[in-house]
Amino acid sequence: MVSTVLVTGGMGFIGRHLVSELLRHGYRVRVLDSLVEQVHQAGEPSRIDGAEYIIGDVRNADLCRKAVRGVDHVAHLAAEVGVGQSMYEIARYVGGNELATAVLLEALIEHPVKSIVVASSMSVYGEGRYRDADGRLHDQVRRRRDMIGTGRWDPRDDAGRRLEPVPTDEDKPVDLASIYALTKFAQERAVMIFGAAYDVPAVALRLFNVFGAGQALSNPYTGVLANFASRLASGQRPTVFEDGEQRRDFVHVEDVARAFRLALEAPSAAGQVINVGSGRSYSIREIAALLASAMGVADLQPEILGKARSGDIRHCFASTERARDLLGFTAEHRLETSLEPFVEWVRRETVVDRNGQMRSELERRGLVA
């Protein structure tokens, strides 16, 4: 018997790739998406043949009940995304993430499903794990704002020694440094609590920095590569906060879509939170240079601002053992070999650079120091 999967946010960047992944593997797919203007500046994207579409907000309880009726599984991706914007559009993020998830879960009480997978975020960790010069691990590191302002970007131990970043695993305690992180953790925990209470296998995937074709090039609050690509395509230098040496894990959207499908299918993953990353780390400065070279504008070197955004962390990259053990998942795409198709896609798109607007919004509110 063919199973039906509801994908909330299924017309977004990750959602569209997941819809294609599920259809290729024989699932029926229903999409619920509100087409948030900030993400869909160019209007409604083309619909994927074979999927059913419902246009509307997850927070609409009647519409949500209609969307879940008759489905077997749910992949919950619908969310407001972006650390910086979350620090001043607080009600928007709480409503779009926490309230929407609550409405969805209430609908699932009336229409039970066989499993639910929710898109969480690496942002819930705050800073990643670190090791000091004596080999001790530190998992509750937080930079003081007054120290960041002096240009000492990296966390240090009590003796003033720089801490070395190491892969972050799922057992690291969360440390919520932004409103976005708070709402993603609330989504994650609500789904896991619901799953335990109603005996529904539930999985939370903590996504690291997702990249690939289809990311919104007009939304400066999310997607480092998309943001940099918008700048470069407009003949502008990418802007980099701090000194550009902060390190992140970049995972391709097609790998992320595969991880969602595997999580829906893996009984051993029920009740688990799982990192979805590449297990590799890159500095933001390095990313800007690699992308500029791939786009043929290597002379557009990044503008290093020497300032920090409120809510940003220094280093975080994934430990991927749990994804491998529970899902059989390992990222197949490397950033270095995936930039060419990404650049080809950027060249076909209409690019709108809103980076300046983002900076002014944050600076006006005192969120850049």
DSSP 8-state secondary structure symbol assigned to residue 97: I
User: Which structure tokens are listed for 111?
Assistant: 């229409």
Mean pLDDT of 361-368: 80
109 assigned to some structural domain = yes
40 assigned to some structural domain = yes
Q: Report yes or no: 267 and 195 within 8 Å, Cβ to Cβ.
A: no
130 assigned to some structural domain = yes
Q: Report yes or no: 291 and 232 within 8 Å, Cβ to Cβ.
A: yes
- What pLDDT band is residue 38 in, cutting at 50, 70 and 90? confident
Domain count, the chain: 1
105 assigned to some structural domain = yes
183 assigned to some structural domain = yes
CATH number for the domain spanning 91: value is 3.40.50.720
Which of 306, 309, 294 minimizes the C-alpha distance to 339? Answer: 294
- Listing DSSP states for 293-355 in one string gives HHTT-TT---EE----BTT--SEE-B--HHHHHHH-------HHHHHHHHHHHHHHSPP---H
The residue with tokens 């063919």 is: 2
pLDDT at 43 over 80: no
Which residues does 247 contact at the CB level (< 8 Å), separation at least 6?
165, 281, 282, 283, 284, 314, 315, 316, 317
pTM: 0.94
Q: Report yes or no: 159 and 355 within 8 Å, Cβ to Cβ.
A: no
Pairing of strands 137-138, 164-165: unpaired
Counting Cβ atoms within 10 Å, is residue 134 exposed (0-12), middle (13-18) or buried (19+)?
Answer: exposed
pLDDT at 83 over 80: yes
> What digits encode the pLDDT tens for the residues 112-145?
999 999 999 999 999 999 999 999 999 999 987 7
Q: What percent of the chain has pLDDT over 70?
A: 98
> What digits encode the pLDDT tens for the residues 282-294?
999 999 999 999 9
Q: Report yes or no: 126 and 312 within 8 Å, Cβ to Cβ.
A: no
Q: Which of 100-104, 190-194, 223-227 has the lowest mean pLDDT?
A: 223-227
The residue with tokens 């994207």 is: 45
Confidence (pLDDT) at 42: 64
Q: Report yes or no: 116 and 73 within 8 Å, Cβ to Cβ.
A: yes
Residue 24 neighbours by CB distance under 10 Å? 11
Provide the residue range defining the domain that includes 89. 4-364
Residues 256-284 as b or e (16 or more Cβ within 10 Å = b): bbbbbbbbbbbeebbebbbbbbbbbbbbb
167 assigned to some structural domain = yes
Which of 58, 64, 192, 73 minimizes the C-alpha distance to 124? Answer: 192
Which of 49, 53, 21, 22 minimizes the C-alpha distance to 35? Answer: 53
Higher pLDDT, 219 or 314: 314
- What pLDDT band is residue 278 in, cutting at 50, 70 and 90? very high
- What pLDDT band is residue 245 in, cutting at 50, 70 and 90? very high
Confidence (pLDDT) at 364: 82
Strand 315-316: give its sheet, edge to edge: 282-283, 247-248, 315-316
369 assigned to some structural domain = no
pLDDT at 311 over 90: no
Which amino acid appears at position 274 of this protein?
I
241 assigned to some structural domain = yes
Counting Cβ atoms within 10 Å, is residue 303 exposed (0-12), middle (13-18) or buried (19+)?
Answer: middle
- What pLDDT band is residue 62 in, cutting at 50, 70 and 90? very high
> What digits encode the pLDDT tens for the residues 247-269?
999 999 999 999 999 999 999 99
